[in-house]
Amino acid sequence: NLPEPKVLLADRGYDADRIRKNMDERDILTQIPMRKTRKMRVGVDHTLYRLRNMVERCFNKLKNARRVATRYDKTSESFLGFIDITSIRLWLRHLST
């Protein structure tokens, strides 16, 4: 079983009252920037929201590896292994700069 999430970090596309209400019922903190058309203003913790952006950029860099983006591997073990290799390659590139 997966643990219940504590925070929902999402972009403006998920700014809907029903999503916010559902997360409130489940005691999950929502960090979603509001759309410009929203009448009731809702604040966002920008420190937490930056983490979402960092994770999103990491996935984008992982998808630059064609094998990860197209998922050539047949088994989940080999796919996760290639994600590990690609992550290590990105980490080493980051350390060398």
pLDDT digits (tens, 9 = 90+) for 75-87: 888 888 888 988 9
What number is the average pLDDT over the span 43-72?
84
Tracing tokens 């990105």 back to the chain, one arrives at: 90
DSSP 74: S
As a whole number of angstroms, the distance between CA 45 and CA 26 comes to: 19
Minimum mean pLDDT range among 2-6, 71-75, 83-87: 71-75
What average pLDDT does the chain have?
87
pLDDT tier at 29, thresholds 50, 70, 90: very high
pTM above 0.75, yes or no: no
